[in-house]
Structures are given as C-alpha cells and as structure tokens.
Amino acid sequence: MSVDAIVLFSGGLDSILAAKVLEEQGLEVLCLHCISPFFGSRHSIDRWKKIYSLNIVSLDVGREFMQMLCRWPAHGFGKVLNPCVDCKILLLTQAKKYMDKIGATFLATGEVLGQRPMSQRRDTLFLISREANVRDCLLRPLSAQHLPPTPMEENGLVNRDLLPAIAGRGRSEQLELATKFKLAEIPTPAGGCKLTEKENGRRYWQILKHYLPDCGVYKQEPPANGARIIKAHEDFRLSGIGRQMWQNDYWLCIGRTSCDNDALRANASKDDILIKLCDFSGPIALARHGASWPDDILESACAITSAYSPRAASSGGKVRLSLKLGDEYRIIEVFPERKNWHVPEWEETKEEIRRRAKEYEQITKLSRNEQRICKESG
C-alpha cells in the first residue's frame, strides 16, 4: 500500500478531522500515533481504528522525548511542565523520518491557527516547521486557507479549495465537520498529556530537576545511554504512585491504597527499601535508593509511614516496621510522627521552575554572545 499522507494522530477531534479531510480527497492516509511516558495510548489504537475507520500505527518516541526534556526544552514550558513547542518539533522530526522510511509523500497535523496560545500562533507554527525541517512537506489542512499554500497544494496533489479555513479557539466548525463525517464518537479536543496537569507537574519536577544539567553547563547534551533513559522513565513512573515526599534529596513514596502498595512493590529496584508495619495494617512505603540512606533518615521515613496508619498512630508507643532490601530484612522501632518530610505544592514548584528558566535564559544568552564575539574576532 502506497501512502500519500502521514497524519500525526493524538486521538483528539482535530487529528481525526485532519485525516478525514484528506481521505475525502481520495488520498491514502496513515495516522501515526506517537507514544512516550507522558502521552499516547497504544491500547486505544484498535478501538480508534474501529470507531473512526482509520488506518493507525504507533511510533515510540519515548527515548527522544526524555532526552529533549532532560536537556531543558529550548523553547521552554507552557503553564505547567509541558514543552509544547519542542514536543511538536520532535514529533514532526520523527514523523518525517518515518515518512522517508515508508516512502510517503507528505505530513499533516490537526493544528488549528490560534487555538493554543503557545504552540499554535502563526509565528510559532512557522518556527516549528522550520526547526523540524518540514516546511516543504507539512500541511495543516484544518487551517490551510489561513496559511500560505504548500507544495502539495501547488502541485495539485491536494485541492486547496476544498480544505477548511478554521482558526481561533471556537469548536463549532470542528463539530460541523464531525457531523458531516458522521463520527461515531466525538472525543475531547486534545489527546491528553500528563505534563499539562498541575498535580503531575509538581510530582514530575522533583524528578526532572535531578536529570537536568547543572546551571552553567546547559549546552552539554544529556547522557544518551539507554540505561539513563530507562532510569528516568522508571523514576517518572514511580512519581505517579501514592504520596510523594522529600527530605532534601531523599525520596519517599507512601501508598494511599492497596493498589498503590502493589504498585510500589512492583516498581521497587534492587537498591530500594520497602517499608511495612509489622503489627498494624497500613501503607507500604518505598525509599528510593534507600540502600544508601543513613539510619536517621530511614528512621524518619519509618516514623512518617507509621503515622499514616490510624491504629499505629494512636497506639501510644513505639511501633515496629520491617525494612526489606532485596532478600534481606531488618526491624526498626519508632514513634509515629509526621515531620521532617516535605510534600511540594504546585505554587512553590512553579516558582522553582521559573527561577531555573531564568538561569537557563541567562546562560544561553551568554553563550550566544560568546559565539558572536568568536565570529567577529575570527
């Protein structure tokens, strides 16, 4: 099967309509659903194929996305921890590689001019196309009438006159198209990225900042070896389980439910310590890299873990907890108490991200000045 267009497909309404608009012109369309630790749903593909009658394949971009995120996105974050501009550049770059691999003709997206304040302004759309090196092969069919003609329209492969002229944040025109194409189900406007949510943002930032280069060496590429990428992925996954608590760089996860407890057991690595009450029901806790923790920090972790068990907290004396490291066990006795451990809130996290962003801007500005001086002196 020869493919005319590859459509970046999130599962949201706009990407569905982009594919349908091109299919309506008799083009062979392949939808490309990108997967990372923060977005994408591989298990939804079969369902989408069935209800929307589209040809959809997945592409794992997790490694590339993690490298971009841990390098600090060149175009910054949105309202939370979402690097929308850099993400779109990355997805289009990877999609173009896939396009070249299978011999497709052009790329398309469901982007709508002016719909998103950060990544879908006119100047940003042009920037994304340029930096992804897809200016000559990218069509944004839903807003085509508001954008310059593409080579695909100029050579007659795509009839520009039949493309929509959607712009702005309204949804009425998209809903009209959904009715026209008789969509069996109208999904939410976006495919859903975990990095856009404040609850996730405050959790993820505590992990991300440990992978970012130190201020002053932002120009360096992050280590690209597979082990580091896997470790980062595991840490981000763990950060979504239960209560997340910090004492300086010591990281403690405490389960809220039996499902959390099971997930903590399943995600424990060889140098993590699992903490469990011996004589009372209560949460499981995971001390990340607890094998290297000093005894006073471990005792503090046991104290706050036991404090989340109502019966242990009201016992009036010391309680026993089991610490499991691999196949080895030890017992610690502590008084239950909630102190020393910190749960970062979004507002303080946001301020920390802003401070780090200013540092990055200063470093990159100095770097550009150094490069300019070198050119002038050379």
CATH of the domain at 27: 3.40.50.620
Please indicate, yes or no, if residue 97 is contained in any of the structural domains.
yes
249 in the same domain as 181:
no
> How do residues 37-59 score in pLDDT, each as one tens digit?
999 999 999 999 999 999 999 99
How many domains does the chain fold into? 2
| Residue 329 burial (C-beta neighbours within 10 Å; 0-12, 13-18, 19+) | exposed
148 in the same domain as 14:
yes
Q: Is 182 left (phi over 0), alpha (psi -120 to 50) or beta?
A: left
Place of tokens 């099971």: 262
12 in the same domain as 125:
yes
Q: Is the pTM of this model over 0.85?
A: yes
User: What are φ and ψ of residue 45, in 5° steps?
Assistant: -60, -45
Containing domain of residue 146, as a range? 5-194
171 in the same domain as 39:
yes
Strand partners, 250: 247
Alpha-carbon span 82 to 51, nearest angstrom: 29
Please indicate, yes or no, if residue 347 is contained in any of the structural domains.
no
Please indicate, yes or no, if residue 88 is contained in any of the structural domains.
yes
Which pLDDT belongs to residue 228?
77
249 in the same domain as 188:
no
Task: Find out whether 14 and 116 touch, Cβ atoms under 8 Å.
Answer: no
Q: What is the pLDDT along the chain (378 residues), one digit of tens a residue?
A: 699 999 999 999 999 999 999 999 999 999 999 999 999 999 999 999 999 999 999 999 999 999 999 889 999 999 999 999 999 999 999 999 999 999 999 999 999 998 887 788 999 999 999 999 999 999 999 999 999 999 999 999 999 999 999 999 899 999 999 999 999 999 865 548 999 999 999 999 999 998 887 644 333 445 455 677 888 889 999 999 999 999 999 999 999 999 999 999 999 999 999 999 999 999 999 999 999 999 999 999 999 999 999 999 999 999 999 999 999 999 999 999 999 999 999 999 999 999 999 888 887 776 555 555 555 565
55 in the same domain as 147:
yes
246 in the same domain as 190:
no
122 in the same domain as 60:
yes
76 in the same domain as 10:
yes
Please indicate, yes or no, if residue 89 is contained in any of the structural domains.
yes
Please indicate, yes or no, if residue 277 is contained in any of the structural domains.
yes
Alpha-carbon span 325 to 369, nearest angstrom: 51
Task: Find out whether 59 and 98 touch, Cβ atoms under 8 Å.
Answer: yes
Please indicate, yes or no, if residue 378 is contained in any of the structural domains.
no
Q: Which residues contact 341 (CB under 8 A, 6 or more apart)?
A: 245, 246, 247, 252, 300, 301, 304
What Å distances lie between residue 186 and 17, 50, 140, 189, CA to CA? 10, 14, 20, 9
Which pLDDT belongs to residue 167?
94
Please indicate, yes or no, if residue 104 is contained in any of the structural domains.
yes
Please indicate, yes or no, if residue 35 is contained in any of the structural domains.
yes
269 in the same domain as 185:
no
Enumerate helices (H) and strands (E) in the chain, giving the number of each. Answer: 13, 11
164 in the same domain as 34:
yes
27 in the same domain as 168:
yes
> Angle, nearest 10°, between helix axes 346-377 and 198-211?
40
